[in-house]
Amino acid sequence: MSGKKVRSHFNLLLEPGSNAYLEILNPAKQLTYAVSLNREEILFLWAQDQNYLRESSTPENLNAITGLPVLPDDLLFLVAGQGLNFAEWNMEAERKDGWNLSRSPFLVELTMKEELSRIVITSPGADRWTAGYDRYRLWNNRLVPAQIRFEVPTRRIAIDLEIDKWIPRDEPASQDLFAVKLPDHAQRLSLWDIYHGKPLLLQ
């Protein structure tokens, strides 16, 4: 963002379309941020400061926190490398290399190669942004993109996720599995008191 590049390690636990838990680590492998997301809310913890946000997972709030203006169920598929919650989208037109889709008030241009390759999303009140998938690998008999890239050109945001290991879990999913464990004296902040135009996850 603004020409600045930051490299971090992350751990991501997913139930595609429903739940996600993300840990971002500093170069010393210490926890910097923890995020939990479901279709109703997002919780964001600054581990060192012991401050946190708990907000509804609206596109406006997700844009302020992650830099991506998108519906929560779609984001939960996007980060899993599975595109969108396609059951909720309507096909508007078929192209030689993909389809144009709509889910009011969002529009999408979907591009396929051998696998899902590129998704261009037009958000209301925001510019077009892109999710790209590359370097598919077969892990546990499933093709998974080893590289996921989110790009918002007008905000000069590019997020590259390089997946080193993908491990399926056998245990049933539960809300506790994806919950952020808050410190005893964590202080809750208000998103719109601290957001000043830069996505909080990228600061």
pLDDT in tens, 78-88: 999 999 999 99
161 touches 180 (CB < 8 A): no
Closest listed residue to residue 158, CA positions, set 180, 124, 130, 135: 130
pLDDT at 8: 79
pLDDT, greater one: 123 or 34:
34
- Of 135, 137, 98, which Cα lies nearest the Cα of 119? 98
Strands 51-56 and 187-188: parallel
Mean local confidence (pLDDT), 15-44: 94
- Asked whether 21 and 36 are in contact (CB, 8 A), the reply is yes
Confidence band of 1 (pLDDT split at 50, 70, 90): very low
Cα–Cα distance measured from residue 20 to residue 14, given in angstroms and rounded to the nearest whole number: 5
Query: What is the domain extent for residue 118?
Result: 9-202
On whether residue 4 sits in a domain, the answer given is no
Query: How many structural domains is the chain composed of?
Result: 1
- 171 occurs within a structural domain: yes
Cα distance between residue 126 and residue 84, in whole Å: 18
β-strand partners of 31: 25
Residue 2: pLDDT over 50: no
* Residue 2 falls inside a structural domain: no
Give the separation between CA 53 and CA 33, rounded to whole angstroms.
11
What CA–CA distance (Å, rounded) separates 49 from 183? 10
pLDDT confidence of residue 203 = 81
Q: Are strands 9-15 and 19-25 parallel, antiparallel or unpaired?
A: antiparallel
CATH of residue 93: 2.50.20.10
| Predicted pLDDT of residue 4 | 53
Read off the pLDDT of residues 157-184 as tens digits, 9 standing for 90 and up: 899 999 888 887 777 777 788 999 999 9
Q: Is residue 3 part of a domain?
A: no
pLDDT of residue 140: 80
On whether residue 153 sits in a domain, the answer given is: yes
CA distance 25 to 59: 25
pLDDT at residue 72, rounded to an integer: 97
